[in-house]
Structure 1
Amino acid sequence: MLSKSPSASSPVLPLAIALVAGAIAAGIILWTIGSLPVAIGFVAAAVVLAGVALGVRHWTGSAEATEPVVDWSLAQTLASVSPHALAVTDRAGRLVCANDRYAALFGGYPTPPGVLGDGVDASALAGAARSAWRDGDARVTVRQGDAPLVATLARAGEAMLVWRFEGGQAIAEAVTMRAMIAGDVGERLGGAGVMVALLSADGRIRAANRVFRARAVGNEDATIEGRDFARFLVTDSRGRVRFEREGLGGDPLRIVQVPFVDDPDGPMLVAMLDEEEAPVGLMPIAAPGSAAQVRALVSLLPVGMALVDRDGRFLHMNDAFVRATGVNPVAPPLYPGDLVVREDKAALADAVRRFAGGAQHSADMAVRLNDRSEEPIALSIAGARGLGEAAVVLSLRDTGEEGKLKRQVAQATKMQAVGQLAGGVAHDFNNILTAIIGHCDLMLMRHSPGDSDYDDIQQIRANSNRAASLTRQLLAFSRQQTLRPQVLQLPDVISEVSNLLKRLLGETVQLVVNHGRGLGSVRADPGQLEQVVVNLAVNARDAMLSQGGNRNVLTIETLATSAQEVRAMDDDVLPVGDYVTLKVSDTGTGIPADVLPKIFEPFFTTKEVGKGTGLGLSTVYGIIKQSGGYIFAESRPGQGSTFTIHLPVHAAAAEPPRLGTNPKLKSEPTEPAWGSGTILLVEDEDMVRAIAERALARQGYTVMTAEHGEAALELLADRPHIDLLISDVVMPTMDGPTMVRHVRKVYPTLPILFMSGYAEEQLRRSIDLDQVSFLPKPFSVQQLATAARDALAKS
């Protein structure tokens, strides 16, 4: 990986360099992962950092020019994962940064357009560069050797130009094939009587083995690279091909074209075999040893290939074809259609029949194998003439790993985007619920049980709490919920929830609980762990009841898993260590193999419309991952399913449970939360600020309000006496933590109570200050009053 750091020449040059670096990183991100919000974020971060740098430079009054050092590591890392060759040049045409793919494609780090030397293509690249500087982007197709290259150029800011070259795969494969022909593979083919030559798209020889050179020019050490292949051959009146040097008395040749790259304009591999001349009036037939020679050639090629006869039956498969298709070499399939799924059988059979009947050229098609129905592979089909019984050549390239990687990246990107969306929606929804619940509490203070409106208000409050639990599910899925971890014993959590499970499972499902010995402590939120067990149990119950029958058993087990046992598992995901393991097993119908990889995806459900949100298992996954654990699912159709959860052992001693962490202890305190003192309330949401002000005023506090951080600092400019600052964390103009740092300069010991609809863990880095408490939204009037009283008591 190549990168250079430009030097500074003016006070504003650091700003320009930072902006350009941000623009380049944003461009690479946009091309590599296609995420516009992330790319914009990089540009914004570069602007902020550059502004801070200029501010520091201005206030320090440094007149000495310093040499800025641009950190290209992020851009290099992003460029390294791109499948294309990437490079960055400056205004002077100098190479600033390039990835390893660029070096492999051009044999080092030449500066574009000099990568193609001198000529028409180099001039085309130079013209595209001028167009990109003028218009912002450009695209041109050039040739490197015999293969086309698509060059895409984009201007990054006003000082950098990003180059992307596509199409180098055919070149790399041609270089590999050229080395094989000139090496031991070419010698072995020559020993079997097979002459091999690699041709460019215009028919010129790029490489040939020793036997071909001896037959074509009479000298096995002659240099024939670059010469026209057709000039070495002649045809007679019957269409038979011979070497021109040997004349019409030489042995006729059988020519086989082997497709090994997808590009129709790319290089081609040609193999030639001697065949005996058939008597006049008879059709030529294959020589007795030619079939063995053809099969030897096919077996040596690194590309998966198979020969098919005129009836559509397999004649031969090489090892690469067997590995790629996963067939049993002891009992191979009879027809190509036996390899693919039912939907692709007819199309493949028609293509083989067409080429066996004499169709010209070749065709590519995507097929799905029986054992990998979700991973299509590229199959090339070509007609074969003069190969004896063989009439069709099949070649394939296994794109399974590449496709799997692309799907994983797409899935990870989708999950991240959905998680960010869920967190943002939950935050805004929590603000709305805070106002609804707060107004219900204020109304309940004026209505007593038996009042005509009392039950209606209670219903509104109860449904608001249900909505709040839904937002907690969204935050758990996106791993942004507020956890209250404790050091606890897993069997205690199972015991607490057992009675609830018995009521949920009903009379038709038997609950079996087994606890192992020597279990260590774990550190987790007990309420969230109970939610995990309940979600898994309810899913298992639905799976078992759907099949009917009387033998419905749900088994919950806890056991200790030592580091030695984890090491013996040899699992790539689970790190070696000591764990407390929770297993939840059922005797249901099991999870189908095609559904199992999707069960933790958000909003994925196999239930009928209206009977499942698709958030149950995704919430379980989010809670376990946020708690530092791992979850795995196993299932066999008809034999039930098992969910295994591994939580790391915590070495510290168990802590006493704290109020508010267990669902059974979440009842609000009934003692009055009256207090006195002056509170500054800072909240950008009008409805939340209004309800919080009324709630605190009713508890006896004097309340000052501000709609954002700057307004709060203006109120404090006269240095009034305040006892507590309550503030939202995320606000426009100035956020809560920034405001608090300014306030602490005047009030160094002032207690702070932060409130937010985002998770505390997500905000922990920004609110990690002295004498700070946190209240998650939505909250009730009583919870706000209690939190304010506790914050004042700690000061």
Structure 2
Amino acid sequence: MSHPHLQVVSADTAPPVRGVPTSPSSLQFDNVLDDAPIGYFEVDARGVVLHANRAGCEGLGLDARRIHKPVFAAYLHAKSMYPFYWLVKKLLETSRPASCDLQVRRPDGKTYWVRFDGAVRSPLPDGQRTCLLSMIDISEQREAESRLRASEQRLRCLIESIPDSIFVIRNGAIVFTNAAAERLVSGENRSQLIGRPIEDLIMPEDHDLLVALSGLEFRPVPTMRPLEMRFRAGDGQPLTADTTWLALQFEGEHSLLCVARDQTDRKQMQARLAQADRLTTAGVLAAGVAHEINNPLTYIFFNLESLRADLVALQRGETVDVEAANLAADRAMGGAHRVRDIVKDLRSCTTDSDAREMVSINDVIDKTLEIAQPQLRYKASVERAFGQVPALPANFGRLSQAFLNLFVNAAQAIPEGGPSKQSLRVATEATPTEIRILVQDTGAGIPEHARARLFEPFFTTKDVGSGSGLGLYICHKYLSQYGGSIELVDLPPYATSFLIRFPHQQQGQSPLDQKPSPKLVPEVKARGETSLRLLLVDDDGVIRTELQHALAPRFHSIVTAGSGSEAISLLRETPGFDLVLCDVLMPDGSGPDVYRWLARHQPDMLSHIGFITGGAYTDDARAFFATHTVHCLDKPFSREDLAAFLELLLPRDEATMHAATG
């Protein structure tokens, strides 16, 4: 190899260095450096080796003190030859120490890295200047550095490819980001992000969270739960992200690491799924709510028709019972108020708003139970054990939705078999530090393997198509928004018990009044000259009363029952009824139960039983109507509808005699 600025001697023409030098310089070199553990070489301006110590020869893989090729470049890797001559030239030109890393090649062809540190020796007697080079094996160091660089490269590739956004923050300013961070705040490239205050990327509403995080890099905590924060996108729109904050040493200084995961799409999807879950719950409740509304609508129709008949009579100049007309108007208004209250309760329990006010937990639960009552009435008895509890700053609708999910889940878990055998219990109490709500049912219970995942979204123990798996997740989410918690506890004899806790928000809050029990509507005795006997069966006292008023002119005797079991007892003890009008769904014995009893004991009555219903069929009721041909009148219905229905059920001669009702 040649170099334009160096005189290079060929390894083939230069004499080999043998034996121990005898010149004063050689003797000095030998005496001082020969036994040194580090390899030393003395080379001239041409790169010819003048002297070498034992460690140097061994470093080149040669016998001690025997240099076969006196040109040092012959022992270097091809890529290291030029740097070697550059080192010699620099040493001789500047007379200052210099160093470089070179690859040395052994006789067996293996190469390794060596660091050469050089200095210029005093001129020889002939005036020639030489360089003294020390040789240190740095192969392990270079290998470690290579592994470190590869590791850093892998780590950088990982950081750049990870979908989570990474920010390293020092003194409130961003000092490092990855590619995902650029995507999170689209419109900003990395050079624009570096040096910017992190608060520029956070929506003002969440700046208080940044204040709480300040100084965390100097007081690290072992673990920290994710914080939901809103970032400002490039277009200024908010992006919701789950962030994790950790203290770390970055570039030798205390810094703060923020890992952010964009949850905007997931939050929007969850909102849509929550809406879908509300619609699903509404669908489950729809039939029951229709039943609750159809009952008052029925007696609204009855009383309005009675008032219309009175108006027609007045137009004809006939006398009208003003007191009866006022009573009919009052009943119609009462029915309208009941419909209004049902709709109001339904709206307050299903409104999706986060507006907060001081709400009564007892009132929320009571109204929610009213909404869920059609689902529970025919499956379980409901026990309320309300204590005196303080008001809670929350949203009525969201709390109601949380409890509604619990109640509907309980109703779905309770097998059909009669409310006398199953129960749902809701209890509230206040301790000095918290409000406690206990929701218990005697349903199927929750399997042990499912308990750990109970509040995860989309997890359900129901059959495919029977549930979205969001009910308990949304319940947990809404309760958490107001500082509440929910857990599954074991409290026999109940199969499932959920304990809900809320911390006290205000001390000294006056207890809430308990909701008084509604007064029962008194029953009206039947009147009339006909000999027909009617058994009227309905669990709604108001419906029974209104039907009695409407049917009194047509029947000699009207006997009422509030349940299927009571109706069966009356049929057994006082047979001979001409007609049975029976509701379908009742807490203690259903309409189908009455029909099946008649089929066994009084089969002649099967053609004289008619069903009236507001809907909300159970599985048993749906199966019954699918397999039996029976007469059924849906609520709400008018007097004319009722008269036409009776035509189908009464003996022909009686139906002809009493072609009209009222």
Task: Specify the TM-score bucket, using the shorter chain as the normaliser.
Answer: 0.3 to 0.5
Bigger RCO of structures 1 and 2 (CA < 8 A, at least 6 apart): 2
TM-score (norm 2): 0.37
TM-score (norm 1): 0.32
In our comparison, the structure showing a higher alpha carbon Rg is 2
